[in-house]
Structure 1
């Protein structure tokens, strides 16, 4: 979920921000630190490390690579509403620091990655959630996920668990990517109950990407859904999802039959402890798998450019069971998953 950056327009501030984030940079060698470790740069989407969702999943992939592959990492935060040139400058600063393996988290980087990859052919880039011509290049891995497939399963779970037969969906920004989450969720819910009502709200429209980092807007949107009768709300809204959880809590939480569904990470493990009990399940998007796989491919000299889509079949997306709230319906969800994997069910993406 997919998911502009933490810096001012001034290049000096950007450079300082990059220096302050991540591991120290010895600055020697192309792609290796002073001790010979491969140097990996990670440029976050809105919210950065600590968003309990999309960016945190990417961070886990880098952390795993540090531990298992011995790479050195540097992380660059993102801020709302920054310009294309700011994103380009961020990526170029990583290149200038000797980071020749670079991951850009989020489709907002598409044009920046395309331009920087062309200007720096010896650098290997990966972009999460974009397969467009804007980012395509012989040194670019375009990492995507079948969010619609995982969302189908949590939509089915919502329909099976709903008492009011009315559920909701809160999207951060109305883009084709987030529409994939909505499409899968609605299709899964309607598979179980064709008459179920699905309320949908998007917090912002492009080019305003603040919908991924505005928990107050998320709460307001979900408040309205719960007040109008929805008893389960799924959010694909990055950091704004915390507001959806707060709304479920304010509506009475699980004790009153008010649930929320998390996204990207197993948010019953990562969200504020006060709201974890009301998270019915989460559609886990294993960005960490894509990030680690890319870094390992560069280190092993097996890098391949182009689109790689992580699906339900290969563990790219999954449904969390933390809390045991969906244990009673898991056989039904497993049956649906099998049908998606074998192609019996074709999940819409729009």
Structure 2
């Protein structure tokens, strides 16, 4: 039983306003004590570019929302981003959730920073969280931040150990400081294993063009080019675009490393053999823990950080035949990072 949480029926107007989007809300009750200790929780979530079904970043957030619905028995609503949308569109989406009684509300991705910075002060009684940003500095906003460079270091080491050609690749969706953390960790991990390894690095788009997170065709073309130029392992931090890179890996019969979610789990039967591992960014854990903390009354404002040390970051082991005995090396490196003996770079 989770204390202090009780669900009430969603107001008819809110249902009508939001009926066109998301996974909808089943009403249920988590147990809890006496009347005065109970409060209403309905959970809203707004997706980043690429949306649900990207098999990566947004799907990790969705997994957390599913866990909220299944384990905490809470009403939930998730809303998709629009193609080429403005900050005003994001503001309207967040306000729609807040006005409709969704509290807490999770904004998935740093692209919501400007919008949430304007919305949060207008709804001081609503608890908000934003993934991958800590610039807002409002008392009702929690920043869900990750040490992406740590997990990327581990999969970089895996790529270098697996490579037979001495050449590997990195495909980034959009060249932002956030994605540069993935690149920096990956390069450092690979060079820890093989200081002479060749690393091809390319980005699909540059800000303010964020289409690189939702362009599988370009993801496929870039990865294929890397395989053609000798890379036999490619790590892709590009959201939905990674699905195209995985197609290229399967076609070339070369190795692919996924990101955020365990992409072996969602790969097709033809693709699974080529998914060596994935860098796990546990947005699902972050979303679930945040919602639970709101219900428990333990929510904190400001930075909440997830890393190897608290299982917010890791690497996937779903394809043991691909990793082989390198897990011994990877787990040793993992412990060295946790202990502070190794500090993967962020840029």
- Do the two structures share a fold, i.e. TM-score over 0.5? yes
Q: Secondary structure at the match of 2:303?
A: strand
Distance 2:245 2:176 in 1: 19
Q: TM-score, normalised by structure 1?
A: 0.89
Aligned to 2:120: 117
Off by >4 Å, runs of 4+ in structure 1: 15-18
Answering whether residue 331 of structure 2 is matched by residue 334 of structure 1, we say yes
Aligned to 1:153: 154
Distance 2:108 2:270 in 1: 29
Aligned to 1:46: 49
Match of 1:315 among 307, 311, 318: 311
Aligned to 2:81: 78
Q: Once the 2 structures are TM-superposed, how far is the Cα of residue 96 of structure 1 from its aligned partner?
A: 1.4
Answering whether residue 190 of structure 2 is matched by residue 189 of structure 1, we say yes
Q: TM-score, normalised by structure 2?
A: 0.90
Q: Once the 2 structures are TM-superposed, how far is the Cα of residue 136 of structure 1 from its aligned partner?
A: 2.1
In structure 2, relative to structure 1, the CA distance for the partners of 1:290 and 1:197 (3 Å cut) is same
Contact 1:136-1:142 within 8 A present in 2 as well: no
Deviates more, 1:218-227 or 1:267-276: 267-276
Q: Once the 2 structures are TM-superposed, how far is the Cα of residue 51 of structure 1 from its aligned partner?
A: 1.1
Answering whether residue 260 of structure 2 is matched by residue 259 of structure 1, we say no
Distance 2:17 2:50 in 1: 19
Answering whether residue 273 of structure 2 is matched by residue 273 of structure 1, we say no
Contact 2:46-2:78 within 8 A present in 1 as well: yes
Aligned to 1:95: 98
Aligned to 1:348: 345
Contact 1:81-1:208 within 8 A present in 2 as well: no
Contact 1:50-1:56 within 8 A present in 2 as well: yes
Q: Unaligned regions of 5+ residues in structure 2, if any?
A: 1-15, 28-37
Q: Secondary structure at the match of 1:269?
A: coil
| RMSD over equivalenced CA pairs, Å | 1.6
Q: Secondary structure at the match of 2:334?
A: helix
Aligned to 2:35: none
Contact 1:47-1:238 within 8 A present in 2 as well: yes
The count of corresponding residues between Structure 1 and Structure 2 is 321
Q: Once the 2 structures are TM-superposed, how far is the Cα of residue 273 of structure 1 from its aligned partner?
A: 3.0
Listed one character per residue, the Cα deviations across residues 220-249 of structure 1 (whole Å, up to 9, x for unaligned) are 100110000000000000000011111111
Distance 1:204 1:76 in 2: 25
Distance 2:335 2:25 in 1: 46
Aligned to 2:129: 126
Answering whether residue 200 of structure 2 is matched by residue 199 of structure 1, we say yes
